[in-house]
Amino acid sequence: MVRHPHGRKVDHRHRAVQASDDALRVLRLLLEMHGPVVLYLPAGSDGFTPMCVRRSEFRPGDGDVLAGQTAWHTQLWMADPFHVGLDDLDVKIEVRNRAPQARESASLEAMCGFRFTLRIENADSAAELVEEAS
């Protein structure tokens, strides 16, 4: 069982965190460059653009939740209020190209000209669409 750094049990609220093929390639590059990394959706963000930091430098707060894990044991953490209602959502990590002047971010992938984004979908709606199509 993974434990929160403050000693309390980590709340695993999310069913699945997937990553696109492009995001997996960027994650692999970052792992080779920096070692283990964590994706973190901080409270002051837009809700779709996580920060990528070295695992050794990540310090989750009391309200942060481990939303899931993806390739190579890369964890996705979310701050309040983003983790509320995760049971009804599917999260996919994607990557997009960033313009050279937009590489000022502290997120590790920005140095390589990329930025991770989250695509969040309602799992129940997706299941209903599959049922209707069949």
Rounded-to-integer distance, Cα 132 and Cα 71, Å: 31
Reported as a single tens digit per residue, the pLDDT across 50-59 is 999 999 999 9
| pLDDT at residue 126, rounded to an integer | 43
Reported as a single tens digit per residue, the pLDDT across 72-131 is 789 999 887 776 666 667 889 999 998 655 556 789 999 889 999 999 877 555 444 334
Rg (CA), the chain: 15
